[in-house]
Amino acid sequence: MGRATKIALLDYGMGNLHSASKALSAVGAEVSITNDPKVVAAADKIFFPGVGAMRACIAGMHEAGIDDVIRHAVFNKPVMAICVGMQALFTESAENDGTPCLDILDGQVKAFDPAWTDEKDALIKVPHMGWNTINSMDFEHPLWHGIADNSHFYFVHSYYCEPADSTQVAAVCDYGQPFCASILQDNLFATQFHPEKSHSAGLQLLKNFVEWDI
């Protein structure tokens, strides 16, 4: 039996660390909750969580040095970001009347338009909270192994990512309008939904990330 995959779960004071750590451990990872660059450097993979308002999250990243850690890691090892962690990768967020983000990926984070309507012609509720289906661009990719089209995942957000490069979109979700639910660029993978709160499909996705060989 080989050794467990070492994952650095980045701590900058704003992530859902306990539930993410528990879920990653459940699928076989050895998890270190850390903002220590040495621990991050020694890890096999990086997990970048995020919960809360973007301006406070970016400030926490700067204070903890996580912004530099992420910029270095995306060129060196597999990285998975979730929710606000995914949004933080882009150029700017509309949240808090405009917040510069990490600008690792070119694109904007936009607010849901409450005038959008669903398939029953009812106005959507903002935030988007609860279970929704996703459709992947490529369910043959190893990150989606064992996950069926239209699988349900758990969302909690008022903003969504719009990459400048549409080829980075790995999955979409429909909430009044289709929006980017996941991105994939080389060794960088991110989801707007919370896999750690998404029961069996979410655990399968985390297991796929832990076992992802690139």
Q: Which sequence positions are flagged as catalytic?
A: 83, 194, 196
Span 138-186, pLDDT tens digits: 878 999 999 988 899 999 999 999 999 999 999 999 999 999 999 999 9
Q: What is the pLDDT of residue 46?
A: 95
pLDDT at 1 over 60: no
Task: Give DSSP secondary structure letters for 71-118.
Answer: HHHTTTS-EEEETHHHHHTSSEESGGG-EE---SSSEEEEE--TT-B-
What domains are defined for the chain?
A: 6-211 (3.40.50.880)
Cα torsion 62, 67, 72, 77: sign = positive
Q: pLDDT tens across 86-120, in order?
A: 999 999 999 988 999 999 999 999 999 999 998 88
Buried b (16+ CB within 10 A) or exposed e, 36-63: eeeebeebbbbbbbbbeebbebbebbee
Query: What's the pTM?
Result: 0.94
pLDDT of residue 74: 82
